[in-house]
Amino acid sequence: MYQYEVQLRVRYAETDQMGFVYYGNYATYYEVARVEALRSLGITYKSLEARGILLPVLENRSKFILPARYDDLLTIKVTLDKLPSTRLYFQYQVFNEEEKLINLGETTLVFISRDTEKPIMAPDFLIDILNPFFNDR
Amino acid sequence: MYQYEVQLRVRYAETDQMGFVYYGNYATYYEVARVEALRSLGITYKSLEARGILLPVLENRSKFILPARYDDLLTIKVTLDKLPSTRLYFQYQVFNEEEKLINLGETTLVFISRDTEKPIMAPDFLIDILNPFFNDR
Amino acid sequence: MYQYEVQLRVRYAETDQMGFVYYGNYATYYEVARVEALRSLGITYKSLEARGILLPVLENRSKFILPARYDDLLTIKVTLDKLPSTRLYFQYQVFNEEEKLINLGETTLVFISRDTEKPIMAPDFLIDILNPFFNDR
Amino acid sequence: MYQYEVQLRVRYAETDQMGFVYYGNYATYYEVARVEALRSLGITYKSLEARGILLPVLENRSKFILPARYDDLLTIKVTLDKLPSTRLYFQYQVFNEEEKLINLGETTLVFISRDTEKPIMAPDFLIDILNPFFNDR
């Protein structure tokens, strides 16, 4: 299992007239969280794309427990709890400044070859980096 | 059961560098679909809010089957398959111009009183409007 | 001169906690307006990109006169008041349902070759289509 | 004059299919920049709104010089070059990681009373904080 924590601040643009973060914007928060989790391991999306590997999202789920508000400094705990094969699976827990859990999310992404537009296995270099976190499971 | 179809065109702003609609933007498409479904019944979100009723999203699920691309004219079939109580439940099927199913979604919303910030029952006028579609079930 | 009118409805996602449309979202409204103005002439952005022509924005200006609110049906009057050369210049007037002018915008776009990444002249077919509207000036 | 620098990383959600940051998203970047500039002085938008002061944007201008790309770590230099009266005026210079100027922006905001919806003078506490930076001009 690999876990990482990311902080981000709610932008005015992300609120809606209810005074809360618009529900669709959590998808972007999840993106930031998983990108930074991978970066913490020395892996960037950008370098994956440069190798001709795309990572579109196959599935997304969100539970909205408490609202996030403008200027809140949110903490997103992102969990990678299994080694990727053709798919890469992330879970997210979003906490507000009072450390209350406000949102739960899950995304499934799939490794795609840009050339063939077909699913492919996770690249070896990525498995090599992730392996140590999953050895004793 | 109540079903309604909405069409919308993919905006450039909604694409990402993969050349597809960014996955978070489907939440907005679902919003447009359910708002227009309610409008087709003579109900507007705006008038709900004017009565002090908020409708935040509790849960959202999406499956991404095929990509949507810039300028695609999408058809969203929205289904209300049970009468609301404190919750209002919508399902979405998104089709592209070739009539291929590209996305499946579900959202659960909850009726909240703006004053008490507590869940409340769906207002009577809304039940009255919806009732005829659920009579024989 | 070529003028065209587009209508669009304000989405919940586009509002912010002030209860108005977030100022950055007018850029998307302008995009919709100019895309539909071109489509009304038989020209699509998509087909331009398919020919290897990109049209990035060079300059954007907006004046915010009155707020747009959730669910407003806005009318955008878009004006093309000179024939494009390497640049394509649009003006926008946004009106609310009471026909009040709420926003003024201008964008300058530039024709770029995807291959060379350099500015190029507007393609001939586009000039041919636009010419009749500018003959007597 | 008061100047402040903010860094932010381009999100995938903010790119478009041209492979660049969508032009409308700079408005959000400017928002982040001015909010952080004010925060660096001990002033938060949030506290202004809590005092019943809204700060809608009256005018926005952007020049797009070079594209910003996914995952770029942008530096935004924000300048407050005059003391606010009823209006608050910001300038922005956006630089990429190679320290190239990629974007220039200006926004004019106006202090509005939430109660009267009329323009008001900048609150005294804000003037008191800003005054030292403008004394010798």
Residue of D nearest to C50 (CA): D18
| Residues B13, C27: C-beta atoms closer than 8 Å | yes
Tokens for B61?
């699920």
Q: What is the pLDDT of residue C79?
A: 98
The answer to whether residue D91 scores a pLDDT higher than 60 is yes
Q: What is the pLDDT of residue D135?
A: 74
d(CA D111, CA D49): 10
The bridge status of strand D87-95 relative to strand D101-110 is antiparallel
Secondary structure class of A124 (helix, strand, coil): helix
The answer to whether residue D137 scores a pLDDT higher than 60 is no
Judging contacts by C-beta atoms under 8 Å, the chain D residues touching residue A28 are: 11, 13
- pLDDT bucket at B136, cuts 50 / 70 / 90: low
What is the CB-side half-sphere exposure of residue C46 using CA atoms within 13 A?
14
Secondary structure class of B50 (helix, strand, coil): helix
Instruction: Give the mean pLDDT of D105-129.
Output: 95
d(CA A137, CA A135): 6
Asked whether residue D80 is assigned to any structural domain, the reply reads yes
Residue with tokens 């003006």: C91
Instruction: Give the mean pLDDT of C101-109.
Output: 98
The verdict on B27 touching D (C-beta cutoff 8 Å) is: no
pLDDT in tens, B34-69: 999 999 999 999 899 999 999 999 999 999 999 999
- pLDDT bucket at C88, cuts 50 / 70 / 90: very high
Distance from A49 to chain D by nearest Cα, in Å? 11
d(CA B110, CA B116): 14
Averaged pLDDT score across all residues of chain C: 95
The verdict on A58 touching B (C-beta cutoff 8 Å) is: yes
The answer to whether residue A137 scores a pLDDT higher than 60 is no
Q: State which residues form the domain around A68.
A: 2-131
CB B29 within 8 A of CB B35: no
The verdict on B27 touching C (C-beta cutoff 8 Å) is: yes
pLDDT in tens, A44-101: 998 999 999 999 999 999 999 999 999 999 999 999 999 999 999 999 999 999 999 9
Q: Where does B22-123 have alpha helices with state H?
A: 26-39, 45-50
The verdict on A15 touching C (C-beta cutoff 8 Å) is: yes
Work out the number of other CB atoms within 10 angstroms of the CB of residue B44: 14
Is A71 annotated as catalytic?
no
Distance from D103 to chain B by nearest Cα, in Å? 18
Express as a percent the part of chain A with pLDDT over 90.
Answer: 96
Instruction: Give the mean pLDDT of C86-113.
Output: 97
The answer to whether residue A19 scores a pLDDT higher than 60 is yes
Question: What CATH number is attached to the domain comprising C95?
Answer: 3.10.129.10
Q: What is the pLDDT of residue A26?
A: 98
| Residues B31, A25: C-beta atoms closer than 8 Å | no
The bridge status of strand B101-110 relative to strand B57-64 is antiparallel
Averaged pLDDT score across all residues of chain D: 95
Q: What is the pLDDT of residue B135?
A: 75
Work out the number of other CB atoms within 10 angstroms of the CB of residue D13: 21
The verdict on A16 touching C (C-beta cutoff 8 Å) is: yes
More confident residue, D137 or A8: A8
CA-to-CA dists, residue C120 to B37, C54, D19, D63, angstroms: 45, 10, 19, 19
E strand segments, A1-137: 2-9, 53-54, 57-64, 73-80, 87-95, 101-110, 112-113
| Residues B60, A64: C-beta atoms closer than 8 Å | yes
Judging contacts by C-beta atoms under 8 Å, the chain B residues touching residue D20 are: 17
Judging contacts by C-beta atoms under 8 Å, the chain C residues touching residue D59 are: 61-64
Q: What is the pLDDT of residue A31?
A: 97
Q: What amino acid is encoded at C116 in this protein?
A: T
Q: What is the pLDDT of residue C136?
A: 61
d(CA C127, CA B8): 29
The answer to whether residue C135 scores a pLDDT higher than 80 is no
The answer to whether residue C11 scores a pLDDT higher than 60 is yes
Question: b/e per residue, A76-86, with b = 16+ CB within 10 A?
Answer: bbbbbeebbee
Size of interface B-C (CB pairs under 8 A): 32
| Residues C28, B13: C-beta atoms closer than 8 Å | yes
| Residues A61, B64: C-beta atoms closer than 8 Å | no
- pLDDT bucket at D136, cuts 50 / 70 / 90: low
Tokens for D95?
């630089």
Residue D73 Ramachandran class (φ > 0 left, ψ -120 to 50 alpha, else beta):
beta
pLDDT in tens, C14-60: 999 999 999 999 999 999 999 999 999 999 998 999 999 999 999 99
The answer to whether residue B26 scores a pLDDT higher than 60 is yes
| Predicted TM-score of the model (pTM) | 0.96
Averaged pLDDT score across all residues of chain A: 95
By mean pLDDT, which of C7-16, C43-52, C62-71 is the weakest? C43-52
In this complex, the residue of C24, C26, C31 whose CB is nearest that of residue D28 is: C24
d(CA C70, CA C67): 10
Residue with tokens 């400044």: A97
Residue A19 Ramachandran class (φ > 0 left, ψ -120 to 50 alpha, else beta):
left
- The subunits that touch chain A, with at least 3 C-beta pairs less than 8 Å apart, are B, C, D
Q: Which of 62-81 (C) contact A at CB < 8 A?
A: 69-70
d(CA C18, CA D118): 14
Judging contacts by C-beta atoms under 8 Å, the chain B residues touching residue A68 are: none
In this complex, the residue of A18, A23, A57 whose CB is nearest that of residue B60 is: A23
Asked whether residue D137 is assigned to any structural domain, the reply reads no
When divided into structural domains, chain B yields a total of: 1
The answer to whether residue B137 scores a pLDDT higher than 80 is no
Q: What is the pLDDT of residue A58?
A: 97
Identify the sign of the CA torsion B92, C71, A11, B119.
negative
Tokens for B99?
């009539």
* Residue A125 CA from chain centroid, whole number: 19
